[in-house]
Amino acid sequence: MSETLPILYVPSPILRAKAKPVGPGDEDRVRALSAKMLATMYAAPGIGLAAPQVGELLRLVVIDIGPKEAPAPIVLVNPELVAQSRELAVREEGCLSLPNIFGDVQRPHQVKVRYQALDGSRREMEGEGLMSACLQHEIDHLNGVLFVDYLSALRRNMLLRRLAKELKMKAE
């Protein structure tokens, strides 16, 4: 198992920054980082993690929505949404950067994502339901967007105040 990385919590400014595309020459760095990100995600435990959440402003995402006993990790380099359904779905979301905070988010039920695999090949994948929500949630992180941004201002502020209080108590 690879080493884990510290996960950044809101209000870290890195979580609000736009990540840079992975470029030629980044292959070794991205391969090492993705292994550490997967280890971090599994240890948390979570089902998705974006590089900005571990302090790296790179367009890199790891996802695994499979059962614990049959891991099926996916590493997406430079992912981009290329299509989405008109049909919407509401799903409760949480985030490793906002521990113990959950909210109902409405997103397209189905999406198509174009990305590069670790071997550099260009790929596309479609997701619906949980996979669709996870892909959108993680790609949002690459653009400095958090799931709480989809909630009403009142609900968002209430949740962020609660998180700040919990993190302060944890630090004391």
Catalytic sites, residue numbers: 138
Element (H, E) at 52: none
Q: Is 8 exposed, middle or buried (0-12, 13-18, 19+ CB in 10 A)?
A: middle
As a whole number of angstroms, the distance between CA 144 and CA 151 comes to 16
Q: What is the DSSP letter of 158?
A: H
As a whole number of angstroms, the distance between CA 126 and CA 103 comes to 24
**Alpha-carbon torsion (76, 73, 50, 27), positive or negative:** negative
